[in-house]
A and B are shown apart, each in its own frame.
Chain A
Amino acid sequence: MDPLMHITYFGLGKGAMVLASGDDPQGWSSANEQDTRLHGYTLELPVLEPSNPQEAKDMTIEAFKISEELHAPVILRLVTRVCHTSADVTFGPIRKIERRPVVFSSFMDAYFKAMMAKKAPIPFLHERIHRDRMPKMREISNNFPYNRLEMDGDEKLGVISTSVCNLYVDEALSVLGLEGKVAHLKMGMSNPLPDRIIAEFVDSLDEVLVVEETEPFVEHNLKALLKDLSPGLKLYGKESGHIPLSGELNTSIVAEALAKITGKPYSRYTQEVSSLIAEYEPKITARLVTLCAGCPHRATFYAAKRALARLSGGKFIGVGDIGCYGLGASPPLMAFHHILCMGGSIGLSNGIAHTGIDVPIIAYIGDSTFFHAGIPSLIDAAYNGAKITVIVMDNGVTAMTGFQPHPATGFTATGRPAKKISIEEICRACGVEFVEVVDPYDLKGTEETILKALEFPDASVVIARRLCATEQVRRWRREGITPKPFIVDPEKCTGCKLCITTFGCPALVWDEEERKTRIDVTLCIGCGVCAQICPSNAIHSPGGD
């Protein structure tokens, strides 16, 4: 937010800037339900909310036009159901714009001129936003083609919705047989609200329902407008209890709200389906996500836990970070206790170490996250003498988000070859004196090195380096290589289940009838790590090793 608070005051000078921000109502793949529209309010910038992939494409073009007009950034607020939807998108003509970079001195120029003229630069710039930009923004919102009014004029009930909720409302009206009987204002620009369109909309209405994800942003701003426009209007939404205050919305939730207001009958399930759900759902077990079969991270966690068991009887404080390896906190590995944000593993570990607590402190951070947010806190640890052990889980890709490259991969986001930046050299340059590289598939070697790192009197780093298993399989496939699953010898397997209860690779399946482990050939990639764990030597490669 810091750079944005400055950009919004100084303006862009020339060119345009569009900020695309993905919000995740329901927290499908995030840990919170941030609503970026509130940042738009704070920053005093326009917020656009497309409802589907076609609009996301079309409104991006609109966003650039508005940005150029206002000399200010424009926020494109996207939600999960827009980002994670694939659909057919029709392209318009692709314009080729010839532009060359120019030098201009807008930022500091404005700052110094204002300071000299007013002797109080920042309030002057803020005042300018309210005087010049806000009225323009309001005008743009009133004329924005994606703020669409659908009404005949004889409706008494209306719905205002934004983003994907526009589609849920349409479908809910159709499900309830209310098509054409309820006025609908579909909004594609929610900051600022289009006051003239809203005035026209509420003029003939008695009741309005607001449908939006996640905060009651439109609802609050609408209330402020209604005080003058139509103080007697009945407003339904999140604060009236018709729409939930958190979580993702869908057609059913909207239909339930509309049913409550109109008195139309609606239920999600028939009696028959409800009773089937009640009968069978308790028998269906949960399916938590887990590290993939063959994942090198699992081997690293296993080896680290063995080292910690030897060093301190298994007492330790572990801090994870943002990436696939966050799954190491789940059973049976339970490799760490805390996780916060990008780079938080080393930062939190620093703080914990300075409390003087007398247990080993271990931080797990991925290669990509290390480059992104781990380096300043590693310097902090080395400089301020935090005795922590940092394990860099180096699987060679940014696996969690889709296998993007990072500075150690040797190619850029556009696929251009680049020089590789060495993680070990960075760690040494940060002032860390213990930096070792291990191959996590070598369990014993990894355990011994992590033990040495934990015993080191200062901050230490172990880089666990082995290509992501999913990426490995992809590369094999391109080369025509098929994975060779390992085999459990049922004669040797004693059914001790240690491979499952301490290691837990999803390819290791417990056969309840035989009371033995078997290997799922559809999942096993033949990494061979479980064979190093089996105390009875019952697991071997197809070749017999």
Chain B
Amino acid sequence: MDLNFTADELAFRDEVRTFCRSAIPPDIREKLIAGRHPSKDDKVRWTRILAQKGWAVPHWPIEYGGKGWTPVQQYIFGEEVSQTPAPEPAGSGINLVGPVIYTFGNEAQKKYFLPRIVNVDDWWCEGFSEPGAGSDLASLKTRAVRNGDHYIVNGQKIWTSLAQYSNWIFCLVRTDPDAKKQRGISFLLIDLKSPGVTVRPIQLFDGYPEVCEVFFDDVQVPVDNLVGEENRGWDYAKFVLGNGRVTIACVGLSKERIRRIKELALRTRVGGERLIDKADFRKKIAAVEVQLKALEMTQLRVVANQSKLEKGTQDPASSILKIKGSEIQQATAELLMDVIGPYALPYQSEEEFQRGEPAIGPDWAGPIAPAYFNGRKVPIYSGSDEIQKNIIAKVVLGL
């Protein structure tokens, strides 16, 4: 039993670290340190830099561009990218739909879509939730009716992240309305430029239009775009939701946040002394650090166990990663609010920033309150904390 990285693992970490630090465009890095949202262009630029190096999809099978890294190496890579800080590679394509296509898709789909995902020629979004199907996802109503070589799709998706930037969406659609609700669902790939598709961004309360509504009005989708078997879409959806587990803890991101908190607390004076020197503030940070360290260790336990588990099964400890990870992300966002104090008040839009308007208050203040507001999404998305707890109670505890 040895928690330390081996010499090879350390060398690998240094290699990744050195590459990320030198390859990340400085403007993107500064944006992330400040806590601002990277743009689509930022994410595409970074993903293509990784693709050039052969690192865009290291976790994929080697035949589709993967690196065949060990779980520990993959973990190190993810940590180093998020601590650079660099953006997550274009997420929905690489992490969500790509693995579905290479696992369940047909040869034509693999051949066409996978290289385009690696090089970010396509930008993907996930069409799962609907206005009437949130936590109860399987009650989704968007219909796909087979008509010759096409499905005719009608319905509405919501909370679709960054659909306004996307040209493809992978959707859960109902193909058999008479089957039991999980059984009549299929997994369709839909070109967002198809006639009858309408995308309407929704502004979140921090001001960022991060999600969209997507409407389908008699949209024709070639039958060739069905992934796997008809009416087996629920299985593929579970596969998608299960895949995000190890990275969902966002340990690297939270570590980076803690650094930011300390850095800003060094520059901030309260009552004549530096905020970082105030014992009660340091103790508050320490309390979050303890939780984060514990989460990191839990994640390492999961990673170390991964290779031993039967395919398709999950380490029980992995189920807590999202719950605890989101709790810590809230806590770090709150600490940043403590640091900024009253200059959390001024609101400056992204457009003002782009125009180069001078900052109101400290130049680092602007993104802090919006990030705190935006962070409330974490315990809601990708299976709310309550749904996660239902799953753990049932699957792990047998209740």
A and B are partners in one complex rather than unrelated chains: no
